[in-house]
Amino acid sequence: MITLVTGGAGFIGSNLVKLLVEKGHSVVILDNLSTGYSNNVPISPRVKLVRGDIRDAATVKSAANGAQVIFHLAASVGNQRSINDPMTDSMVNILGTLNVLEAARSAGARKVVYSSSAAIFGELRYLPIKEDHPVEPDSFYGVSKLGGEKHSLCYHNIYNLEVICLRYFNVYGVNQRYDAYGNVIPIFARELLTGQPLKIYGDGEQTRDFINVLDVARANLQAAEADGVSGAFNLGSGNSITINQLAVMMQEAAGTRVSVQHVPPRKGDVRHSRADISAVQSAVGFAPRVNLPEGLKEYVAWVQTEAFS
C-alpha cells in the first residue's frame, strides 16, 4: 500500500509511520517540522520525507500523487493554543484539511483517515460519549476539528471518497514531547523529572480518557484496511481517571515524589471525558491493548532517555 501521512514526523504520525513500515507499506511524509522532528522519521527505503505545509495546496497535491490511502494528522493542536490564535488554528485545520481532501480526490486515493478530536463535543451531557452526542465545542480548536470532519464526510457523500474520522481522546506515549499547550502527561513528566510541583488546574477531579499512541497507530491502520467503511468514530481507551489519580500514577511510574499545586481552571477545558468505543470496535475491529500504568512507565522511561538528553 502506498500512503501519505501528513504530520508524519510528529508525535502520533511518527508512531503510525513506524507501524506502516513494519507492515511493509510505502510512506510519503508531509510535515513542515514546526512541531515534528526529522529524527522521529524511520530510516527506510520505503519512507520519503517531504518538508512542506498543508496550507500550500500545490505541495499537498504533489505529495499525494500516487497515494492509495492518506492519513491526515497534520494540525494546529490544542484548546488553549486555538484560543490564543484562532486564525492560525482555522487556516491549518480547515483550509489545510480541504487541501488534503482535494489532493486525495485528484490522486484517486481510495481512502482518507482523518484525525479528529473529542474536543468537538464540548461540555458533556452524559458518559460514556457516543458518536451521536451533541457537538458544542468550547474552543476554536474543537470548532476547526469539527469543520474538518464535516468537510471530510461531505467529500465521502459527494465524491464517493472513503473517509474515516477518528475522534481522539487524550493520546499519550513515546515521541510526545513537552508543550505548554499540550497534554497533561508530558507536562507532568517534565515537572516530575525537573523536581517541580505538579500543577493541576482546578480541583483535579476532572476526568480524562487516556489512550496510548501505539493503540492509536493500530486504529489508523485498521481504519485504512476496512474496505467500504466510512464515518466518524470515537477513539479512546473506554476508561477514565481523575487528574488527581493521574498525578499519583505518574509519580509511581517515575519512582519519585513531588508536591502538587492547584491553580485556577482554564477556559475551554471540559469537566469529564470518557469514550464509548463500541462503534469503532464493531466497524474496524479495534480494541486497545496498552494499559495505562504500563504505558506511563514506558513513556517516563522514554522521556528520561530521549527528551532530556
305 part of a folded domain: no
257 part of a folded domain: no
Q: What is the pLDDT of residue 75?
A: 97
Alpha carbons 277 and 298: distance in angstroms, whole number: 24
246 part of a folded domain: no
81 closest CA partner among 90, 72, 73:
90
Residue with cell 513537552: 178
125 part of a folded domain: yes
Joined grid coordinates for residue 95: 483550509
111 part of a folded domain: yes
- Which of 114, 141, 155, 299 is catalytic? The answer is 141
Q: What is the pLDDT of residue 181?
A: 66
Q: What is the pTM of this model?
A: 0.95
Query: Is 37 an annotated catalytic residue?
Result: no
Domain CATH number, residue 164: 3.40.50.720
110 closest CA partner among 235, 4, 218:
4
How many domains are contained in the chain?
1
16 part of a folded domain: yes
Q: What is the pLDDT of residue 267?
A: 80
Alpha carbons 229 and 223: distance in angstroms, whole number: 8
242 part of a folded domain: no
Please check whether residue 164 is in contact with residue 233, taking contact to mean a CB–CB distance below 8 angstroms. Answer: yes
260 part of a folded domain: no
Q: What is the pLDDT of residue 78?
A: 86
Joined grid coordinates for residue 238: 473506554
Q: Where are the beta strands (DSSP E) in the chain?
A: 2-6, 26-31, 47-51, 69-72, 111-117, 162-168, 170-172, 198-201, 207-208, 210-212, 231-235, 241-242, 260-263
pLDDT by residue for the chain (309 residues), tens only, comes to 999 999 999 999 999 999 999 999 999 999 999 999 999 999 999 999 999 999 999 999 999 999 999 999 999 998 888 999 999 999 999 999 999 999 999 999 999 999 999 999 998 899 999 999 999 999 999 999 999 999 999 999 999 999 999 999 999 999 999 886 678 999 999 999 999 999 999 999 999 999 999 999 999 999 999 999 999 999 999 999 999 999 999 999 999 999 999 999 988 788 999 999 999 999 999 999 999 999 999 999 999 987 554
Q: Which domain holds residue 28?
A: 2-169+213-237+275-289
